[in-house]
Amino acid sequence: MNNEEVKTTNFIHDIIDADLSSGKRTEVVTRFPPEPNGYLHIGHAKAIYLDFGTAEKYNGRCHLRFDDTNPEAEDIEYVNAIQEDIKWLGYDWGEHLYWASDYFDTMYDYAVRLIKKGKAYVCELTKEEFKDHRGIPTEPGKEPPGRTRSMEENLDLFERMKNGEFEDGTYTLRARIDMTSPNLHMRDPAIYRIKKAHHHNTGDKWCIYPMYDFAHCIEDSIEGVTHSMCTMEFEVHRPLYDWILEELEVFQSHQYEFSKLNLTYIVLSKRRLLQLVNEGRVSGWDDPRMPTLCGMRRRGFTPEAIKKLCSVVGCTKFEGITEIELFESIVRDDLNENSLRAMAVVDPIKVIIENYPEDQVDEFEIPNHPQKEELGTRQVPFSRELWIERDDYMDDAPNKFKGFTIGREVRLRGAYLATCNEVIKDADGKVLELRCSYDPETKGGSAPDGRKVRSTIHWVSAKHAVDAEVRLYDRLYTVENPLGDKEKDFKDFLNPESLEVITAKLEPMLATVEPGTRFQFERVGYFCADKDHSSEQPIFNRTLTLRAPRKL
RNA sequence: UGCCCGAUAGUGUAAUGGAAGCACAUGUGACUUUGACUCAUAGGGUCCUGGUUCGAACCCAGGUCGGGCAACCA
């Protein structure tokens, strides 16, 4: 899992190649333009990967630009979180951190320039009135009265809008394009509106703010962005993007659209994510079940796996839905390669090794990774009483079963071979403990006489075990596409078993690790020490189970 | 019944007029001190109808199906 993603190509890179070889462009400048009104999720990761990754591939640069043109919706609290998430993914914007609000003065001047060209006018229509004038897709619109206003009067009105002489909603500045255009976005779109709102960067300097369509292309142009990538829903806005830059006669940035990421069992709309948080369906934005980058980080997913996914799904204009299994496979591949092994028992039953001395303790040196000797070993204590998984005992087990059954010899991973002699159950038949005997000649887990055991199970010494809160996470929804049923709300498909909290028995080393450290608990799954994990209060989150084992 | 975009195995994506590949998923087998990993192996695809061409997934025409667009949001 390295930098191979930079080698990928796609239709936008084909265009860049052509632009570079034709001389249309001599460098590649991209930008990632989040609005600071929420947390970044894996859909944004695709955009970040494309924006930063493309700049990287062409030795260009990628700007981080906060698109803060709507003070009512935005909040500075998101700014740091967004930067942290981008850095976590491994990208660096260097000194190229910008704000749309940096350009408010220029945007105002540009608006005045349009008015002077007769390409913009002040419109006194209310929202509803304009809606009526705009018409519907199949019928042309009607010209608003302000369209014929003189340039001088427009200039005066616009300045008075800026000076705060009018209330919110009374006037807008509109581009004067074509009320009959088949593209609704070209029917005299609003480019400035009055909003007497405090802005986190510009304070109370402005009471008019530019609309996205006007602001975004100008931001791109000012920064010299050559290839401005966004998702498909902006495709119909592109004629307006081009129109504004052409009328302004400024640097012509170009917009390219790709389809956004969709994954089965995942919902990515900001509004719905907010609902989950507000209604307490999850513990917060960084709940490990959330598809937010902070949630996925807490869950134990790696930035490398997220980027690899973005690389593998590619970049096209086709809006499909990628199976989550692809991502899970990439995650397991990464975690299998890079996480250390440990032993933990999540559903414990007691094993007593009857012929093992009461006070004896063995320290076994067990490899941290079966295929990577260089990752070293660790000491794991063994004693007379152990915890093993409830699943690792079965009455009258078939041959294929890997675990104890009466009379069968099993390998205790890295320790000894042991045979189960007796099972003790309660009145309901629930297994309470196993009575076993071990072979002292099999230290380390192999028999001097060469006899084979088909089963190896994990264990934790009861005397040394550390109790930990372990959070077993599963898919947040029960269906592939929770938004697919028009009759039902997506929350109707919430998986009631998406979180199960248990107390597990850990090998002692695990209590001492730093929050965020990832492990494979052998034969159980991949786990990550939670951000609140400590040696006094160990907490682990399950990232994923191991690949589903074959059925018996 | 307006405009824009799209369609390649179950899913995602290559092939840019010259043998339809890859990954995930699925089936089978081998190996294993993790039922993991690894290895081997199998099945499965160009939306439809015409046209151009020696040759079409690719170019053209018409259709079908899917998505997007009517905030003073981004």
Q: What is the pLDDT of residues A97-131, one digit of tens each?
A: 999 999 999 999 999 999 999 999 999 999 999 99
Query: Of residues 385 to 404 in chain A, which lie within 7 A of strand B by their beta carbon?
Result: 400-403
Assess if residue A407 is contained within a domain: yes
Do A54 and A137 fall within a single domain? no
Residue A241 resides in a domain: no
Does residue A300 lie within any of the structural domains? yes
The nucleotides of chain B lying under 7 Å from a protein CB are 1-8, 10-16, 23-26, 28, 33-38, 66-74
Please tell me the total number of residues recorded for chain A in this structure. 552
Q: Which of A15, A11, A25 is CA-nearest to residue A60?
A: A25
Number of helical H runs and strand E runs in chain A: 12, 25
User: Do the beta carbons of residue A154 and residue A121 sit within 8 Å?
Assistant: yes
**In terms of domains, do A459 and A412 share one?**
yes
Distance set, CA A132 to CA A139, A142, A167, A539 (Å): 11, 8, 22, 58
Residue A552's SS3 state is coil
Quick check: is A333 in a domain? no
Same domain, A90 and A57: yes
Domain final residue, candidates A298, A313, A328:
A313
> Which pLDDT score, from 0 to 100, does residue A399 have?
87
A167 touches strand B (CB under 7 A): no
In a domain, A447, yes or no: yes
pLDDT at A8: 77
State pLDDT tens for residues A343-399: 999 999 999 999 999 999 999 999 999 999 999 999 999 999 999 999 999 999 998
Residue ranges for chain A with pLDDT beneath 50: 1-6, 552
pLDDT of residue A550: 54
Domain co-membership, A156 together with A199 = yes
Question: Are A91 and A201 in a shared domain?
Answer: no
The enclosing domain of A47 has a CATH number of 3.40.50.620
Return the CATH number at A205.
3.90.800.10
Q: What integer pLDDT is reported at residue A249 of this predicted model?
A: 98
Type of residue found at A289 = R
Is A123 in the same domain as A152?
Answer: yes
Q: Is the ipTM of this complex over 0.90?
A: yes
| Domain span at A24 | 3-95+259-313
Q: How many domains does chain A have?
A: 3
For residue A20, count CB atoms less than 10 angstroms from its CB and return exposed for 0-12, middle for 13-18, buried for 19 or more: middle
Is the same domain home to A45 and A156? Answer: no
Round to a whole number and report the distance in Å from the CA of A337 to the C1' of B37. Answer: 9
Residue A197: inside a domain: yes
Nucleotide showing the shortest C1' distance to residue A415 CA: B33
**Residues A89, A118: one domain?**
no
Distances in Å between the alpha carbon of A97 and those of A103, A106, A230, A421? Answer: 13, 18, 19, 68
Q: Which of residues 21-60 of A touch strand B (CB under 7 A)?
A: 33, 35
Asked if residue A164 and residue A30 are part of one domain, the reply reads: no
Looking at residue A301, its amino acid is F
Find which nucleotide's C1' atom is closest to A34's CA: B74
Q: Same structural domain for residues A384 and A483? A: yes
- Does residue A86 share a domain with residue A16? yes
Q: Please check whether residue A514 lies inside any domain of the structure.
A: yes
**Does residue A332 sit within a domain?**
no
Is A127 found in the same domain as A60? no
Question: What is the CATH classification number for the domain harbouring A530?
Answer: 2.40.240.10
For residue A2, the model assigns a pLDDT of: 43
